[in-house]
Amino acid sequence: MNLRLAKKGTAVCVLAGCSSESKDKREYRTPKSLCSIPVDADLLTPLLPEGKTVGVEEKNPVPSRSLCQVNVDGKTALITSQEWRERGDGVTDVADSLARIEGGEVTSDDKYLYAGTGAVGHTASCSNPRHKEHVLFTAIQLFADGHDDATSMKKLITAYTEAVERSDICS
């Protein structure tokens, strides 16, 4: 009887692609924050490539935009951004300005646009005295080859946008 169960279990694993060896070739720890914005590493991991080292670098190209670049083995894997835009802009306007986001699906509340290689979020309750006439958007762009996961992207942009809304930038 135990042998029969073992054979069934083996067949299920063969069909499902199970392995006793880990297929994950990540030798680094997934970051728990993206430039001071906390993120659940479990949401970020599926979007990052295999590799040995990971680094996170903050960039502020202009006063209305901040970037957080995640590099794996020295190559850009993912970039998050926070950008103050004019009132009236929507997630599609922001997505149209970003190279890695093509197409995508907009949520029913128009708060998020997500695709396999990127996403945009619209902060609902964010204000800042330095940006009185603007609204804050978040974005994530994937640059790692072979990564295209709209479901994971939707989860990450939602969590990232909510974390930004709780941060000091929205005070």
How many other CB atoms are there within 10 angstroms of residue 71's CB atom? 17
Highest mean pLDDT among 24-28, 68-72, 99-103: 68-72
Mean pLDDT confidence for 107-116: 96
Phi and psi torsions of 139, nearest 5°: -150, 150
Percent of the chain past pLDDT 70, that is, above it, reads 86
E runs forming strands in 15-133: 33-34, 37-38, 54-62, 65-72, 75-86, 105-106, 112-115, 118-122
pLDDT at 10 over 80: no
**Looking at beta carbons, which pairs linking 72-76 to residues 24 or more positions away fall under 8 Å?**
72/28, 72/48, 72/144, 75/143, 75/144, 76/143
Give the burial class of 121: count Cβ atoms within 10 A of its Cβ; 0-12 exposed, 13-18 middle, 19 or more buried: buried
Dihedral class, residue 54 (left if φ above 0, else alpha if ψ from -120 to 50, else beta): beta
> Which residues touch 132 (CB under 8 Å, ≥6 apart)?
none
pLDDT, residue 24, reads: 62
